[in-house]
Amino acid sequence: ISLFVLLLKSTEEYGLEITNNGPITTGAQATVHTTLRMKNDSTVSNLYHFNWIYAPLILIEKSEQRLNSVINVTGEFPGTFPVSVWVTHRNCWLCRPVARNVTMLQITEFVTGNLTIAQIEDSRFIKHGSSSSMGAVTRISFCLHDPSNYFKSASFVYNWDFGDGVYQITKEPFVYCNYSTMGNRTVHLKVVAEWEQIGSVIHETETVQKTGDFTTALELLDAVKSINVVGSRETHVMENLSLSLHINGTPPLALCWLIKSECIPLEGEKCHLVAISGSCYNLSHTFSDAGQYCLSVRVQNGVTMLQTYHEIKVWPTGIQPAFFVLLCIVLVSVMVGLVLYTTFRSNTQQKDLVEVLL
């Protein structure tokens, strides 16, 4: 029972985080980092020792501080290898570990990295994941993953296949392309790295070559070009207003709308957010107060975003705009008539008074 209590206490008081920067290629170095976390501040003053198991990997370097430890390892063969660590009190190596953890390090014989897709928008490169806008300039880039600078003396050749029958060979890790038709494409890239090194057997200069094959899916969408709001710009309090939004762009689309007393740019998700699979969306709204309002609309797909605004006048209940104008004309006419009648009446009284005096 006491052993179980001791183990439970260690689990509750300590946490051990472990990470690695793999995957790496054979011959390169990987860094494995671990940090001891303590939930009880009273144990911070203790000293600890980090114990590693990394075989069959080869240890290059090891460092240890108060609450963390780092090792650099390399591997001569591809595979996925466990690297484990456990922590004991420094003055009691044979005591039960206070924490332990394990990480899996992937080693491959190929070049490691990834492909990214970006488009030029307002003189900036904007990443869209796997989506791209049809007709715009797209940059496809290869990012080499080489944390130990293993390929520092290598020269690279990049063989590109854009998935539409177009091929290109470059010495730079990026290309620019412009697709003119919508649809899905698969971009293939073969990377060839080559350098010279001293051989381990005959100790003469030999040429070493490593390759890597990479693939990414590219979805070509038509940009959101326009948003047309169809419907009345006037309504009454407690009257249902129906509007239709017609969108020129490739679905699926994320539509965000908001009605306020003024037109505002829509940012984030502080609006009515809906997903539509077509090019048309109908919305209805009932106003509880009269006044001037604005419908703000934002539409975006995987590559572009567009906003538009639609002003709405809300009248009080029962008052028609035409009737209101007519009522104003009648009131003005009555006021003018009263002024003329008063003036005429005053002139007549003055004339009668003059005649009596004579």
Q: Does 117 share its domain with 210?
A: yes
Residue 153, CA atoms < 13 Å, CB-side half-sphere? 7
- Give the tens place of pLDDT for each residue, 167-214: 999 999 999 988 777 778 899 999 999 999 876 666 678 889 999 999
From 221, 252, 269, the end of a domain falls on 221
Q: Does 239 share its domain with 191?
A: no
- Give the tens place of pLDDT for each residue, 317-336: 865 555 566 777 878 888 88
**CB contact at 8 A, 39 and 15:** yes
Q: Does 201 share its domain with 128?
A: yes
What pLDDT is attached to residue 351?
54
For the residues of 249-300, what is the DSSP string, one character each? SPSSEEEEEEEESS-----TT-SEEEEESSSEEEEEEE-SS-EEEEEEEEEE
From 108, 139, 166, the end of a domain falls on 108
What pLDDT is attached to residue 198?
79
3-state secondary structure of 4: helix
Kindly tell me the sign of the dihedral angle through the C-alpha atoms of 329, 331, 334, 335: negative
- The domain tally of the chain equals 3
pTM of the predicted model, to two decimals? 0.65
Q: Does 124 share its domain with 196?
A: yes
Domain assignment present for 340: no
Q: Does 45 share its domain with 96?
A: yes
CA distances (Å), origin 184, targets 127, 130, 219, 226, 321: 17, 10, 5, 23, 53
What pLDDT is attached to residue 2?
37
Query: Which residue type, as a one-letter code, is found at position 205?
Result: T
Domain assignment present for 260: yes
- Give the tens place of pLDDT for each residue, 59-82: 999 999 889 999 999 999 999 999
Domain assignment present for 8: no
Kindly tell me the sign of the dihedral angle through the C-alpha atoms of 176, 181, 182, 188: negative
Q: What is the distance of C-alpha 59 from the center of its chain? A: 39
Domain coverage including residue 258 = 226-315
Q: For the chain, what is the mean pLDDT?
A: 84
Domain assignment present for 160: yes
What pLDDT is attached to residue 9?
47
Domain assignment present for 158: yes
Token pair recorded at residue 215:
């693939």
CA distances (Å), origin 298, targets 157, 227, 357: 43, 9, 82
What pLDDT is attached to residue 322?
57
Q: Does 274 share its domain with 302?
A: yes
Q: Does 27 share its domain with 73?
A: yes
CATH number of the domain within which 100 lies:
2.60.40.3450
How many Å apart are CA 55 and CA 83, to the nearest integer? 8
**CB contact at 8 A, 252 and 281:** no
- Average pLDDT by stretches of 10, the chain with 358 residues: 40 85 96 89 69 95 93 96 93 83 97 88 60 74 96 96 91 88 87 87 81 91 85 93 90 90 84 90 93 93 85 82 68 81 70 50
What pLDDT is attached to residue 231?
92
Q: Does 72 share its domain with 96?
A: yes
CA distances (Å), origin 337, targets 171, 328, 331, 333, 344: 90, 14, 10, 6, 10
**242 CB neighbour count, 10 Å cutoff:** 12
From 108, 131, 150, the end of a domain falls on 108
Residue among 263, 230, 262 at smallest CA distance from 247: 230
Domain assignment present for 328: no
Q: Does 82 share its domain with 152?
A: no
What pLDDT is attached to residue 38?
81
Q: Does 23 share its domain with 37?
A: yes
What pLDDT is attached to residue 3?
36
CATH number of the domain within which 240 lies:
2.60.40.10
Kindly tell me the sign of the dihedral angle through the C-alpha atoms of 287, 289, 292, 294: negative
Query: Which residue type, as a one-letter code, is found at position 300?
Result: Q
Strand 131-133 vs strand 205-221: parallel, antiparallel, or unpaired?
parallel
Token pair recorded at residue 293:
């309002």
